[in-house]
Structure 1
């Protein structure tokens, strides 16, 4: 499956992750402040089904932030009822726009920490011992958008650099080359990695499965960060 992110969606993704990472957040004026938080949002756009030899395609034209999500430095928990209400609102007034996926951030203190555990990748029971992204995304698909054959899921990973860096945006290395990007922006480093979920009928039962068989395409990214 191909996932395409339009140009104007990219700053929405990056600035949301940067804000949760760098800006102190309080529940009220005199409350304790927190930084380095994860954040969660939704991808909107349209889907193109598989046609002959052409794979299915998801195109994201917009992103919105879930302000009701519970945010922590190691996890984020969205409110499904909030998401369903937004989806219903869009379906009524903007029926040409579909909920096509999710995004969330992975904040890390420094570059070495990200590199050591490959923090741009999805978390899972297999890697952490606790339910993670690979288990959550199929549940999200089932509970929120079971009518969609595919959903895209993006991870925006962010870490602080010790000094202001500069590097051309580039694809990830090795077998992940077609699935994500990495770039430096001022004194921070950012990774963008894509995954998907699929709705598949097996023995008359509709199942929702995690998939890493994707290609992420952001044509404008390298032009913007030259």
Structure 2
């Protein structure tokens, strides 16, 4: 059954502003050092998971996002620090036990619109689909599913505004595309699942990436109409 990913209102600005900052503003280690722009960024999603029951699919609900400032960021990749991820997970468990680590997000920055359209830059890379199961296994193996979002951004030559619409061409329901000022965004969802090996003597799980998801962001249309 399709996994439903629900992104609550407070998470949306955190996703977009972190992608914009990494894309447009210079990142420096010293004021005399030339900074870089057009970088990827990485963060974690927090919330809760409602398991499949009563005919409803599993729902992964994100209510909060945090940014990994220690992640190693480049123009075409981003690598988080595993110890930083574990620290945040443990910190939340101690002081905010009502929130679980339920997923990740990262950005895909591109120089121009034709490049995004040509390579379908809003989609997951091979590396993404290998990374997500690893995160699931390392940080939350007890969860049946986790959510993973890609926020793709590129600049536009002309200022425009286009209300969010669903992705098409077989990707309907998995993401949205919209424009605001001199920027164009795509946001697309994936999930990972923990699958138990029924032949194992003890509980043994493998972790897989799923394309079959339903991404629901109720406030997105309201805010960007």
TM-score of Structure 1 vs Structure 2, range by shorter chain: over 0.9
Could you say which residue in structure 1 is the equivalent of 2:218?
219
Q: CA deviation at 1:52?
A: 3.0
- The normalised TM-score by structure 2 is 0.96
Measure, in 2, the Cα distance between the counterparts of 1:135 and 1:49. Answer: 24
SS of the equivalent of 2:90 reads: helix
- Among candidates 186, 190, 194, match of residue 191 of structure 1: 186
Alignment counterpart, residue 162 of structure 2, candidates 151, 159, 167: 167
> Aligned to 1:35, what secondary structure does the other structure show?
coil
Q: CA deviation at 1:84?
A: 0.4
Per-residue CA deviations over 1:154-188 (Å, capped at 9, x if unaligned) read 00000011111121211111211100000001001
Structure 2 unaligned residues grouped into runs of 5+: none
Q: 2:42 aligns with which of 40, 50, 56?
A: 40
Report what 1:209 is aligned to.
208
- Aligned residue for 1:5? 7
1:108 maps to 2:110: yes
Deviation string for 1:25-62 (max 9, x for gaps)? 00122222100000000000011001031110010000
Within 5 Å, which residues of 2 pair with 1:142-157? 142-157=137-152
Counterpart position of 1:182: 177
Q: How does 1:37-116 map onto structure 2 within 5 Å?
A: 37-116=39-118
Question: Which residue of 1 is the match for residue 17 of structure 2?
Answer: 15
- Report the Cα offset of residue 123 of structure 1: 0.2
Q: Which has the higher strand share?
A: 2
SS in 2 for 1:164: strand
SS of the equivalent of 2:176 reads strand
Distance 2:50 2:169 in 1: 28
Normalised by the size of structure 1, how large is the TM-score?
0.95
Give structure 1 stretches of 5+ with no counterpart: 125-131
State the secondary structure of the residue aligned to 1:143: helix
Q: Distance in 2 between matches of 1:32 and 1:210?
A: 38
Deviating above 3 A after TM superposition, structure 1's stretches of 4 or more consecutive aligned residues are none
